[in-house]
Amino acid sequence: MKVKQVMLEDPRTLHRSKTLRDACEVYKQTKVNCSPIVDDDNNVVGILTVFQLLDALEAGATFETRVDEIMDSHLQIIDEDTCFSEICHKPIDRLLIFNKKRKLTGVLTRIDLINKVHKALENTEDKLAEAFEDNKKLRSIIEASYDGIIVVDSQGVVQMANSSYFRLQNSSYDPAGKLLRKIPLECRRQVLQVYQGVMRQGKVVFAQYQGKNLIELAITGSPILDEQNHPIYVVIGLRDYTELNQLKLQSARYSEELKSLRSKDQKDLIFQDAAMESVVQKALRVAEVNSTVLITGESGVGKEVIARTIHRNSPRAEGPFIEINCGAIPEHLLESELFGYEKGAFTGANKEGKPGMMELANGGTLLLDEIGDLPLNLQVKLLRALQEQEIYRIGGRTPVKLDVRILAATNKDLEQMITEKKFREDLFYRLNVVPIHIPPLRERKSDILPLAMHFLEKFNHKYHYHRHFSSEICKLFEQYSWPGNIRELANLVERLVIMSDQDAICPDQLPPTFFSEQCTSPLQISIDKIIPLKEAREQLESKLIIKAFKEYGSLRRAGDALGIAHSTLLRKARSLGISYEE
């Protein structure tokens, strides 16, 4: 540091003819404690300090005394480019500072010197504190890294290692202060190669290590350069790719499983009936757009299968498919399941908070099954979510934006529920943008046997059997009304496959409930009086034929259901006075 960096620059001078009163005025104005004294040619002839002025007044001088009468003429002069360290130990009270041209440029007193040194020390302390904080932050950053990190100086001595390094090495051995080439490290050869490469090239160097137990490390060396671009430190990072590779393998397996599940879903869509074909075509058509769909139908007809078909064939197929059953979750839990909650929202809540089903379905499809069971207070919140495309978690103040395709399903008559004030009309219209109704199994008889054969094959494979249906049981399946629809059919086939004591599944293996349902059908005969059997038979045949015509609408299909040829059916209908029109 040069003297000119600490001196008082351009000091106020006094002409030698000025009085002590003038000097006091200068000291008062400039807040200095000394002034150089100059002659008529502006040459410095002396210096007057505050202390000299006070001593003179005490000795009898007056304020009108000239300054040249009491000034100090023994001048201490120094060049402004002199090093500050050279004057620190000189026994002087004041210095006059000149430049190379012998022009006065400043003054320096011992008080100024002390103040400057004190200030410099304070600045040094501040900078040391800042450096300490920066070093602390840097160490915290290095310590927070999931990668193992060691810092090595230009002499090959390890300066520090973070906790991830110890985790990767599965050891508590601290390499700090040790030579890199001597520390016990499984991948030491590769680490040394990286270090030496960085020291030679002055740039980032990479290496890989394949160790025992399928451990795989990526090793990176990065230089810290001095002003001459020479490496003074090398930061070596060790990244464990073992878990990542395992995750990749798991991801590949899950992708294959997902493909298998999607293929399975496609195979589960079994139908032959024209009405069901129309349903599937409608589902595939609406899958291409983002409209809300309301799927209706009796319990067990396959509403979820149609919903998955829509999702699987939509642009959102790679996103999540989330299903929530509005009737299966208690009302006091349904809101948190649907919309989620923030931490501390209620007693017993997860301290981290929890996203709801609508949030989890972002980017995909949400199926609201049994929507008719949704409580009225939640219907309002659901309507708002559909309109605004955002939700608030329970206890939350910040809205969560949604990008969700909504599908709803129900086995209830929502329009009747609107009349009974049990379902909101505005929500119904919001959900019923594209309605899809799935007919019950009894209205699509041609799907019964294909579905039964599908379930037979499925459960034969699952339980390692070779069961098959007798022709009699197939006819009974077609005649049965299946109040539980496809779900009932699947459950019955599984029971028959398991409980049958032979490969041929016959009618006698059907449960009693199967026949009791048949007996309680609308065709059951009430006997009010005894009539001839022939007359009774004709009445029963008439009822069966009329019902078959109404239910199937086709002479051939009605004949198949009754187990007779269509020509025989037509002849019998005419003999009983029943007309048939195509």
Whether the Cβ atoms of residue 255 and residue 262 lie closer than 8 Å to each other: no
Q: Is the pLDDT score of 536 beyond 90? A: no
Q: Is residue 279 domain-shared with residue 202, that is, in the same domain? A: no
Q: Is the pLDDT score of 15 beyond 50? A: yes
User: How many other β-carbons are positioned within 10 Å of the β-carbon of residue 499?
Assistant: 10
Between CA 546 and CA 551 the distance in angstroms is 9
**Rg from Cα positions in the chain:** 49
Structure confidence by residue, pLDDT tens digits, 232-256: 999 999 888 777 777 777 767 666 6
Q: Is residue 326 domain-shared with residue 195, that is, in the same domain? A: no
Q: Which of 292, 244, 303 is nearest to 437 (CA)?
A: 303
Q: Is residue 386 domain-shared with residue 470, that is, in the same domain? A: no
Q: Is residue 549 domain-shared with residue 401, that is, in the same domain? A: no
Range of the domain at 231: 145-240
Q: Which of 551, 438, 442, 452 is nearest to 495 (CA)?
A: 452
Q: Is residue 319 domain-shared with residue 366, that is, in the same domain? A: yes
DSSP for 12-54 reads PPEETT-BHHHHHHHHHHH--SEEEEE-TT--EEEEEEHHHHH
Q: Is residue 407 domain-shared with residue 341, that is, in the same domain? A: yes
Nearby residues of 52 by Cβ (< 8 Å), 6 or more positions away: 70, 71, 72
Q: Is residue 495 domain-shared with residue 543, that is, in the same domain? A: no
User: 0.85 cut: is pTM over it?
Assistant: no
| Inside any domain, residue 582 | no
Structure confidence by residue, pLDDT tens digits, 447-471: 999 999 999 999 999 999 999 998 8
| Inside any domain, residue 246 | no
| Inside any domain, residue 260 | no
Q: Is residue 212 domain-shared with residue 342, that is, in the same domain? A: no
**Residue bearing tokens 């007309």:** 579
Structural domains in the chain (count): 5
Q: Is residue 284 domain-shared with residue 224, that is, in the same domain? A: no
Q: Is residue 403 domain-shared with residue 552, that is, in the same domain? A: no
**By mean pLDDT, which of 65-69, 74-78, 503-507 is the weakest?**
74-78
| Inside any domain, residue 139 | no
DSSP for 132-158 reads HHHHHHHHHHHHH-SSEEEEEETTSBE
> What does pLDDT average to over the chain?
85
Q: Is residue 76 domain-shared with residue 218, that is, in the same domain? A: no
Q: Which two tokens stand for residue 240?
A: 């464990």
Between CA 72 and CA 52 the distance in angstroms is 8
Phi/psi of residue 120, each to 5°? Answer: -65, -40
